[in-house]
Amino acid sequence: QVGLVESGGGLAQAGGSLRLSCTASGRTFTANAMGWFRAAPGKDREFVAGTQRSAGSAYVAAPVKGRFTITRDNDKNTVYLQMDDLKVEDTAVYYCAAGSVTQTFMLARPSSYHSWGQGTRVTVSS
């Protein structure tokens, strides 16, 4: 298991920006992938963005592509989600996850992740 602690959530206005951080601890060597998912009120959890350690590749979901950027600092075991041009529909609890993948498209699958953070709430007002 990998311990994950998210931070950076809060309140933003539409068109504004927030940056989420997720720091991993513990058996981090078991995870070559880290990702962000979100759960809006009354909706299922959905994939937002993911990144692989070795390949350095990233995969961003269509609804946020061009607005959200995922990056990672392997030395700090930290992954970031830069969220720009926020929209009201981005309001959700955002969860960080750690897991293992062999191909980039697997980053979008919740089943690829074995460890999850507690979530950080993002609220975007109009």
**pLDDT tens digit sequence for 24-62:** 998 877 789 999 999 998 999 999 999 997 767 889 999
Strand partners, 123: 11
**pLDDT tens digit sequence for 64-82:** 999 999 999 988 999 999 9
Which residue in 52, 79, 81 sits closest to 64, CA to CA? 81
What pLDDT score does 55 carry?
A: 61
Q: Output Rg (C-alpha) for the chain, integer angstroms.
A: 13
Mean pLDDT (the chain) is 93
